[in-house]
Chain A
């Protein structure tokens, strides 16, 4: 996890596109908020690897949101329960239920659906927010942060230097 944090730190201070970090963060959020062993998470993992998003940010986000997801299991399940038992949506679920993919993805599970819906609803706001925060960081905070003694110490560690070489920074 330390490696991922360093990667994220490097990315924040590099020329990497803030959108790559923001999308990675949003994708990691979906995996974190929903039960890990789900079909849709396999797809998100596939996307995260295939599309040029920042993997460090993806894994850090996954770890952070996994904690949120664990703590918010009950409300997520309630959202899923509400949606799956809503009479107005019954016919839609009924139709979707006939697809094996729907069942394999456990979208008829209250916690999975609740977590996924909340993740999807928050996806673009998180992308926008993270993008904005990265830009603001680079303009206003980065210079101050880099001068901090702790950061200087961190940058002097072997692991950091190794990653600097790898990243070509």
Chain B
């Protein structure tokens, strides 16, 4: 036996075990502190600090002092911090591979608090979408237009039409002047009459006289025809000019109405639609809370043992490799369990006390719901009360159900918000219920804003009007519904806020708009009238000239067609008579 065993080796074994046990006993606190800082930092991607960890061996209790977890997206702040966490742990269960906490107490838990010095960030974090959220809250650009701005607008149809009329007027004037100069005057007409009279009185004795007369007649006719053609051209020009002027005048008369239509479309004066204010106000808050829940879940997820249905998700870092596989036991226990817990949470609105009972992720083992109750009697001067219970089934299905209510809460921002539209102060009463089925959320919430006061940084008089009207409301109710994925829920908001805006502000704005319309159109009409007056004068002059032309044309036609032809016939007849007389004389001489 001695050949195989060395009994003195037992001393060495005891010494090694003793040293190991002694090391653990003495340095347990330091080792746990180191583990929390290293594993937490690895999982979070940012510095995790623990001031100290105290270990009490009977009963086995861990006390973590001054815990701070840096926010990787904002290293100047802590994502989570608490003053003290005490956990009374069942050591025997721990040795069997389970984490069973009889009592857990967290004091002064707070999120998003500034650090004394910025924490180290180990991994670069992606954009959290907060910026995009802010961008979603668009500027409320709707505003009642200023009259002078409208009138100074060079794109006004009226201005364009007035310019067109002016051009037409100038053209018409030029045409009129040219026409007047080119027209045969009265003297010229009289000269024609004198020439015709002279021709009529011409004595024709010989055939040469006839030829000469014919030539003079043709010359007179050519002169008259030329003038007639000139008259006809002038007449056409004047008619075209007049038509152009009349059309431009008509277009100008319609221009103010068309301009008003354009202004109404541009400034949405008909519909008076504003941005969906309820979505901006309530949606932003709902998204904010969802983001916080998501961040909190991401923080604690690495510490949650995988459930039976969770075979490990790619891309999610695990703090530990491997897991305990538990089988049916007389006294089944979850992998981890918090039997009784209390958290004192400091929020911006006040201290919230949270009671935890039977918290674990394997509820089917003990067939008990996990219960979370929260209460605050100083939640921004009001009262908060709520509870949430969940049950994790063996299949991995998660079913949660909760209710919450807030009464007489006073919401007040200490400083004016820089937002385009924000709630500055209001009394809030609200209640809601929440159902979770795996990662699907179904939540209905109702909120009453009492005596709300809104603010805006927008200089738009329209928004100021909206703010004023909303601030005059005694209460503004809203129904907020969340459904879909719990981490990116679709948020439906039903509030009569927009209706209040439409009802009150629209009515008020309508009078202003009507007077604006009247004044605007009066000013435009005035602009139009001067031009139209000028154009009408011009048209009248053109019409007079046209009448004179037509008269002259008639005179010329008469001269051409009647008198000269008559004269020609007379001269022909005279010549015929003379020829007959000559023939008679010759015949008389022959027979006589």
Structural contact, A110 and B327, CB atoms closer than 8 A: no
Q: What sequence of 0s and 1s flags, for each residue 5-22 of chain B, a beta carbon within 8 Å of any chain A beta carbon?
A: 111011011001100000
Cβ of B302 to closest chain A Cβ, rounded Å: 16
Contacts of A111 in B (CB 8 A): 321-322
Is A77 part of the binding interface, using a Cβ–Cβ cutoff of 8 Å?
Answer: yes
Residues in chain A near residue B97, CB distance under 8 A: 103, 106, 108-109
Residue of A nearest to B7 (CB): A50
Contact A45 B16 (CB under 8 A): yes
The answer, among A50, A73, A76, A84, for a CB contact under 8 Å with B6, is A50
Any chain A CB within 8 A of the CB of B325?
yes
Q: In whole angstroms, how far apart are the Cα atoms of A90 and B12 in the complex?
A: 39
A77 near B5 with CB under 8 A, answer no
Q: Does A157 sit at the interface, judged by CB under 8 A?
A: no
Candidates A51, A52, A77, A103; contact of B321 at CB < 8 Å: A77
> Which residues of A lie under 8 Å from residue B324 when comparing CB positions?
106, 108-110
Q: How far, in whole Å, are A47 and B577 apart by their CA atoms in the complex?
A: 172
**Which residues of A sit under 8 angstroms from B322, Cβ to Cβ?**
73, 76-77, 80-81, 109-112, 114
Residues of B within 8 A of A137 (CB): none
Query: Is the C-beta of B186 less than 8 angstroms from some C-beta in chain A?
Result: no
Contact of B327 among A55, A97, A114 (CB under 8 A): A97
Q: Which of chain B's residues have a CB closer than 8 A to the CB of A112? A: 322
Within the complex, the shortest CB–CB distance from A78 to chain B, in Å, comes to 9
A residues near B326, Cβ cutoff 8 Å = 97, 108
Can you name the residue of chain A whose Cβ is closest to the Cβ of B325? A84
By a CB distance below 8 angstroms, the chain B residues around A108 are: 97, 324-327
Q: How far is the CA of A80 from the CA of B458 in the complex (A)?
A: 64
Which residues from B are CB-within-8-Å of A98? 329
Which of A49, A85, A114 contacts B10, CB < 8 Å?
A: A49
Interface band, chain B: 20 to 34
CB distance B321 to A104 under 8 Å?
A: no
How near does chain A come to B449, taking the closest CB pair, in angstroms? 54
Most B CB contacts (10 A, CB to CB) among A49, A90, A106 go to A49
Encode contact with B along A38-51: 1 for CB under 8 Å, 0 otherwise.
00001001101111
**CA A110 – CA B311 in complex, angstroms?**
13
Give the chain B neighbours of A52 by CB distance below 8 A. 3-6
A97 — which chain B residues lie within 8 A by C-beta?
326-329
Quick check: is B507 within 8 A (CB to CB) of the other chain? no
A49 touches B4 (CB 8 A): no
- With A52-B3, A104-B96, A108-B97 known as contacts, the answer to whether A42 contacts B17 (CB < 8 A) is yes
> Which residues from chain B contact A81 at a C-beta distance below 8 Å?
322-323, 325
Expressed in whole angstroms, the Cα–Cα distance for A163 and B322 within the complex equals 42
- CB <8 Å contact, B95 and A104: yes
Closest to A109 in B: B324
Known: A73-B321, A110-B322. A50 touches B13 (CB 8 A): yes
Contact at A45–B323, with CB atoms within 8 Å?
A: no
Q: How far is the CA of A97 from the CA of B327 in the complex (A)?
A: 7
Specify which chain B residues have a CB less than 8 angstroms from the CB of A48 in the assembled complex: 9
Which of A49, A76, A90, A100 lies in contact with B9, CB distance below 8 A?
A49
Query: How far is it, in angstroms, between the C-alpha of A94 and the C-alpha of B5 when the chains are bound?
Result: 36
- Within A53-71, the residues touching B (CB, 8 Å) are 55
A42 to B326, CA, bound (A): 23
Cα A111 to Cα B97 with chains together (Å)? 12
Is A3 on the interface with B (CB-CB < 8 A)? no
Q: Contact at A74–B321, with CB atoms within 8 Å?
A: yes
Q: Is A93 in contact with chain B by the CB < 8 A criterion?
A: yes
Report the separation of the CA atoms of residues A55 and B15 in the bound assembly, to the nearest whole angstrom: 15
Residues of A within 8 A of B321 (CB): 73-74, 77, 111
A59 to chain B, nearest CB (A): 11
User: Which single residue of chain A is at the shortest CB-CB distance from B2?
Assistant: A52
List chain B residues, Cβ under 8 A from A55: 12
Contacts of A46 in B (CB 8 A): 13
**Interface residues in B1-55 (C-beta closer than 8 Å to A):** 3-7, 9-10, 12-13, 16-17
- B327/A49 in contact, CB under 8 A: no
Q: Once bound together, how far apart are the Cα atoms of A114 and B323, in whole Å?
A: 11
A112 to B12 CA separation, bound complex (whole angstroms): 25
Within the complex, the shortest CB–CB distance from B28 to chain A, in Å, comes to 12
Which of A49, A76, A103 sits near B96, CB closer than 8 Å? A103
With A and B bound together, what is the CA distance between A85 and B323 in angstroms? 12
User: Which listed residue, B10, B16, B327, touches A94 by the CB 8 Å rule?
Assistant: B327
Taken together as a complex, chains A and B put the C-alpha atoms of A106 and B320 apart, in Å, by 15
In the complex, chain A residues whose CB is within 8 Å of the CB of B325:
81, 84-85, 93, 108-110
What residues on B are CB-neighbors of A90 within 8 Å?
327
Nearest to A114 among chain B residues (CB) is: B322
B329 cross-chain contacts in A, Cβ below 8 A: 97-98
A96 to B97, CA, bound (A): 15
Q: Are B13 and A45 in contact (CB under 8 A)?
A: yes
Chain A: minimal CB distance from B334 (Å): 14
Contacting residues of chain B (309-353) with chain A, CB-CB under 8 angstroms? 321-329
How does the 8 Å CB contact mask read for A99-140 relative to B, with 1 for contact and 0 for none? 010011010111110100000000000000000000000000
Residues in B with CB closer than 8 Å to A104 are 95-96
Q: Is the CB of B323 within 8 A of A110?
A: yes
Distance in Å: Cβ of B306 to nearest Cβ of chain A: 11
The residue of chain A having its C-beta at the shortest distance from the C-beta of B308 within the complex is A85
Q: Which residue of B lies closest to A97 (CB)?
A: B327
Residue of A nearest to B15 (CB): A49
User: In the bound complex, how far is the Cα of B308 from the Cα of A84, in angstroms?
Assistant: 13
Which chain A positions have C-beta within 8 A of B17? Answer: 42, 45
What is the chain A residue whose CB lies nearest that of B93?
A103
In Å, the complex CA distance between A90 and B17 comes to: 34
In the complex with contacts A94-B328, A109-B97, A50-B323 CB distance below 8 A? no
Residue-wise, chain B 157-196 has the 8 Å CB interface mask toward A (1 for contact) of 0000000000000000000000000000000000000000
Chain B residues closer than 8 Å to A85, beta-carbon distance = 325
Q: Please, could you name 18 A-B residue pairs with CB atoms under 8 Å apart, sorted by A?
A: A45-B17, A50-B13, A51-B6, A52-B3, A52-B6, A55-B12, A74-B321, A76-B322, A81-B322, A81-B323, A97-B326, A97-B327, A97-B328, A97-B329, A98-B329, A106-B97, A106-B324, A109-B97
Q: A48-B9, A81-B323, A97-B327 are in contact. List 20 more A-B contacts (CB 8 A).
A: A42-B17, A45-B13, A46-B13, A49-B9, A49-B12, A49-B16, A50-B7, A50-B9, A52-B3, A76-B322, A77-B321, A93-B327, A100-B96, A108-B97, A108-B324, A109-B322, A109-B324, A110-B322, A110-B324, A111-B321
Give me the 3 closest cross-chain CB pairs, A-B, nearest first.
Answer: A111-B322, A49-B9, A49-B13
